[in-house]
Structure 1
Amino acid sequence: MNDDALSPGEMRAWVGFLAATHLLEHEIERQLKSDGGMSHGDFEVLVKLHMAEGHRLRMSDLARQVMISKSRLTYQVTQLERAGLVRRTDCDSDRRAVWAELTVKGADELAKVRPGHRRIVRENLFDALTPTEIEQLGDLLNRVADRLRHD
């Protein structure tokens, strides 16, 4: 076996991870399109803004939180702004910064799709696991995410 080849156990875990994430992502995309005409990426932006103090974040902070490039976020926020879900405003304390802010319409749309999103995640992920397994999964995935953030 090659030194860099995955072991059978690693391959099984990798293939299972890929299948589970792709299938879950497909179900989430389907639900969000059906319930609100939005993508999972749009949903993530709206959630991050909803959770932020004052329902707004600097564009650079929002890009870090949703883990996409600033240029991709600019395009996405432009689309959300056209739909009336987000508005951009200048930052008084930093002339280079721009705020992205959740609008009332954006909060309403988010409230409309959130119950379905939670249902899809619960039915397709958490209902398949025990409470102990959910804790373990959270620990494991956060460890991987922390490694990727710091490497």
Structure 2
Amino acid sequence: MAHSLLFEMALANSNNLLEGLLNLTYPDGSVIRYRATSGCAGWQRYGDEWVRGKGPIPAGEKYQIPTLGYWLDTRGVEGLFYHITPDPVVSGSKIRAELGIHFDANLPGTAGCIGLMNLEGWQGFCRRLSQIAALGVEHLPLTVRYK
């Protein structure tokens, strides 16, 4: 078993920001859970995954992220950013691009990225990814599931 990430969230017809969990699983089966979200309040329903700049990241099992992030000054991120690939994500004529994992800075919610909602959790996530990178692991598989 290798390191992996799983983002799960229940989508619903709601005007409130919905929360999910980003789970980091270690090779021994232990799991660290982080409060996270994807999308903007009011845009977290089934079908919204393909609404650019508002909906959550599309569900899928073929994503990956690097274990080393890079600094991004973009409003709402303003810090380390772990770029999700493939980029772009395409389904027929629908496209989502420039998605990543970052701290949910400024206004709550994201433009499709996975945003960790707790600063202490975000700092721990970044530390853990750096430790995994030091083991020689360059990328982690990421699965996105909705309930």
> Same fold per TM (> 0.5)?
no
Q: Which has the larger radius of gyration?
A: 1
What is the TM-score normalised by the length of structure 2?
Answer: 0.28
Q: Report which of the two has the higher share of helix.
A: 1
By relative contact order (CA 8 Å, sep 6+), the higher-ranking structure is 2
What is the TM-score normalised by the length of structure 1?
Answer: 0.27
Q: Report which of the two has the higher share of strand.
A: 2
